[in-house]
Amino acid sequence: MDRTAFETALESFRAASEESILAHYARNDFTFAVPDVEVGAGGKRYRKLWNIETYRDGERHNRSIHAFVEIATGDIFKPASCKAPAKHKRGNIYDDAGRACLTDSGHVAYMR
């Protein structure tokens, strides 16, 4: 895979995830924090996406893994822990920016 194409698709998935989470916060009148989805530093096989909330006082809290994305294929995985993804892929960043694997709240869906 072309590295530039991967980074572009990853950014599209990040933006789609953040947009979906922001819509979930707006629908439910969550005003205590503003959520961000950020791409973490790359590993050998996966890139991590972090979900971070910024509270009204400007402090960042509740940092958690949003998803793992496999660099070679673009497959999206739900996190099993902070260090490892779950076994089965949930979607792909090249297919509709990975929106099919997102729930209404913007998080990666469980297997069906």
DSSP state of 80: S
Tens of pLDDT along 21-55? 999 999 999 888 888 888 987 789 999 999 998 88
Q: Which of 96, 108, 109, 105 is CA-nearest to residue 22?
A: 105
Helix (H) or strand (E) holding 47: strand 46-55
Secondary structure (3-state) at 91: strand
| Whole-number Å distance between alpha carbons of 63 and 82 | 10
- % of the chain surpassing 70 pLDDT: 97
Domain boundaries, the chain: 3-101
Whether the predicted model's global pTM rises above the 0.85 cut: yes
Contact predicate 53/60, CB 8 Å:
yes
